[in-house]
Amino acid sequence: MGHQRLGKLPALRLLPEIIRYLVTCGAPTAALVDQVTAVGKDALKLAVKDPVFIEALWLLVRIPQAAAAEGFQKEMRELGLPSATSASLMDILIAYDSALERVQRQSHSNATDLGEMARCAGLSAFGEAIRDRLPSLWPPTAEDVRASVSALKGTEQFAAMAHRFYSNFVERVIHYYVDRNLHNMVGIDRVAKSVNDLRIFNDAIRRHCDEAALIMRAFAKDWLGKNHYKDGKQITKDDVRRFSTYSVEKIRLELDQRKGAS
């Protein structure tokens, strides 16, 4: 469960190179690359202190377990998700989003933009994971939705959701910074002349985040397998906070290792 490098993936090098390319038409901008990466690393370190970030990840663990339980309606109510018991896809996602919104409201001074990004990242990761398992040849029934959600309780499935969550979160953080500089990137006299150029840029950021977050996928699988399935422990928010602290450090190390790759 220690930190293991994945090795240099060619696609990863696109992010710093495209930033250099779009902002300065090819001139070196190492300081900008370092700043963009630093923003992602610092945001991850701060995010583990945000209650919405922790709640978003904790619910990704607990909702599938609740859906798989015999008394799943009671389990969902105990999680504060009574509307999820009707088990339509929309109801499940709305219940998840509403739970995070409640934490935001209760946090007051502790609520941050990072919490909002975590909320969106969690909703996206959860929704994608459920949709991937729903039948495509007929409209899903309530039982189909429940089965799809409960299938996410396994270690492999949680690892995939956690990977998506962290990847989506870092991507949103980077865009939070980079999008402020779009006016410096696009124009007739600049290299980025079209929407297609920006699409290439956005694709590079997405791949950068996916690959940097991939480092913790095995860790997430081992963590849930040991704590819940081997030791029989009910995962708490404090457990998720400790897990997140280790996961964030792994991703920060990966971002640091990959910074300015060429």
Q: Provide the pLDDT confidence category of residue 214 given band limits of 50, 70 and 90.
A: confident
Residue keyed to tokens 């690892």:
159
**How far is residue 64 CA from its own chain's centroid?**
17
Q: Which of 4-13, 26-35, 54-63 has the lowest mean pLDDT?
A: 4-13
Residue 91 has what pLDDT?
86
8 or 34, which is more confident? 34
Mean pLDDT of 209-223: 88
Backbone angles phi, psi at 141, to 5 degrees: -85, 170
- Confidence class of residue 6 from pLDDT cuts 50, 70 and 90? very low
Domain map (residue ranges) of the chain: 14-257
- pLDDT (tens digit per residue) in 186-209: 666 554 566 676 777 778 778 878
User: What pLDDT, in 10s, does the model give residues 81-118?
Assistant: 876 666 688 888 999 999 999 998 887 666 678 888 99
Check whether 7 has a pLDDT greater than 60. no
How far, in Å, CA of 61 to CA of 18, rounded?
Answer: 36
Q: Which two tokens stand for residue 198?
A: 């920006």
Q: What is the pLDDT of residue 130?
A: 94
Cβ atoms < 10 Å from Cβ of 108: 7
pLDDT recorded at residue 36: 63
pLDDT for residue 33 is more than 50: yes
% pLDDT > 90, the chain = 35
Q: Is the pLDDT of residue 12 over 70?
A: no
Query: pLDDT tens for residues 107-153?
Result: 766 667 888 899 999 999 999 999 999 987 788 888 898 899 999 99
Radius of gyration of the CA atoms of the chain, in A: 20
Q: How far apart (Å, rounded) are the C-alpha atoms in residues 51 and 119?
A: 11
